[in-house]
Amino acid sequence: MNKLTVCAVVISGAFATQVMANPVAVQITAQNQAVCEVKGSALQLTVGSAATTDSAASTQLTMKCNDRQGATVKLISQEGGLESDDAEDFAIAYKATFTPDGLEPLVLDAPGGFGTNNFESAPKSYAGSEALATGIDTTLEVNNTGTAVWAGGYSDTITISITANN
């Protein structure tokens, strides 16, 4: 009888061990929203006199893109220069320089003249980095490179396009 009791205990112990050995897997996930943007508080620049080439203005911006591959930026001039309020579709030339701290600048040489609307700079790709992911201080400076003969107002809108380098 002792042999039968020992066998029964060993067999019941083996079944109990199998029931307790089932592991449980718990999957954990998190999400970080994609951000690729340029922001600034002073979004209107006054270059000064349209009659001289030494007029300039600048503003501080922040460029941020948390894509690991970085971002591509380009500047787009709506009018292709500082367009005259009085002579539709005539613009004077200027140079816009977008300079992120510690990175190569991006330059837009708006040619001015007639019919230069939607003039774009060449795109510039910036590598992904922790600094770019958290935000880089950037300067946008605009300098007249052409001069106006006629009195009146001259204006343009620069769009800063930024896209992730997926």
Q: Are 159 and 76 in contact (CB under 8 A)?
A: yes
The alpha-helical segments, DSSP class H, found in the chain are 2-20, 130-134
Residue closest to 157 by CA, chosen among 106, 86, 108, 103: 108
Tokens of 44: 């209107």
d(CA 121, CA 135): 22
d(CA 78, CA 49): 20
Domains of the chain in start order, with CATH, are 36-164 (2.60.40)
What percent of the chain clears pLDDT 70, i.e. is strictly above it?
Answer: 88
pLDDT of residue 27: 95
On the CB side of 154, how many CA atoms lie within 13 Å of its CA? 26
Least confident of 13-27, 59-73, 92-106, 118-132: 13-27
Output the pTM of the full model.
Answer: 0.82
Statement: residue 7 has pLDDT above 50? no
Rounded to an integer, the average pLDDT of 67-74 is: 97
d(CA 80, CA 63): 23
**For residue 11, what pLDDT band results from cuts at 50, 70 and 90?**
low
pLDDT tens per residue, range 130-165: 999 999 999 999 999 999 888 999 999 999 999 999
pLDDT of residue 52: 86
Looking at per-residue pLDDT, the higher value among 28 and 51 belongs to 28
100: three-class secondary structure by DSSP: strand
